[in-house]
Amino acid sequence: MKSQYKLLSLFTLLFFSLTSFAQKNDKKEEIKVWGNCGMCKKTIETAAKKAGADSATWSTESHVLTVAYKSKKTSNEKIQKAVAAAGYDTQDFTAPTAAYDNLHSCCQYDRKADTATSTDNAQLCSGKDCSTCCKDGKCTSGKDCCKDSAVCKEKGCCKS
């Protein structure tokens, strides 16, 4: 009886260590990926799966890629690199310009750097005038305010 009990606890221990080991190797993570539409979704998800993800779902609304993978097989970094190589900026990697340029015109999303810049500049522009932004030779306000601020300065159509 006592040895049976020992055996049972040994099996229980083995079972739990095995399941926790399996969980360690199964990762589910969320990665921010820039993109636009359903076509982007397909490309992003295919790239993630090719990189070794067991499942990959990108939301056209939240722009979040949810991936599940085994850490033995691939990594968050590998997946992000593959998605970037397919032309899509991720939270940690930027797509090569050539890959981005290859995307269908409807898929050419506002790029990560541009988005960051326009957000920063939008804050600058939230005042009374768009003193640092310019579009088509005129200062603009609103969503695209200061988006081309470098161009703006170059053109010199906005006074700062």
Task: Answer whether 137's CB lies under 8 Å from 157's CB.
Answer: yes
CA separation for the pair 40, 108 (Å, rounded): 9
Q: Which CB, 44 or 125, lies closer to Cu ion?
A: 44
Binding flag, residue 107, Cu ion (CB under 5 A): yes
User: Min. distance of Cβ 40 from Cu ion in angstroms?
Assistant: 3
Binding flag, residue 36, Cu ion (CB under 5 A): yes
Binding flag, residue 65, Cu ion (CB under 5 A): no
CA separation for the pair 44, 110 (Å, rounded): 16
Q: Which CB, 13 or 37, lies closer to Cu ion?
A: 37
CA separation for the pair 3, 147 (Å, rounded): 75
Binding flag, residue 39, Cu ion (CB under 5 A): yes
Residue 61: how many other CB atoms lie within 10 Å: 5
Binding flag, residue 86, Cu ion (CB under 5 A): no
Rule CB under 5 A: which residues touch Cu ion? 36-37, 39-40, 107
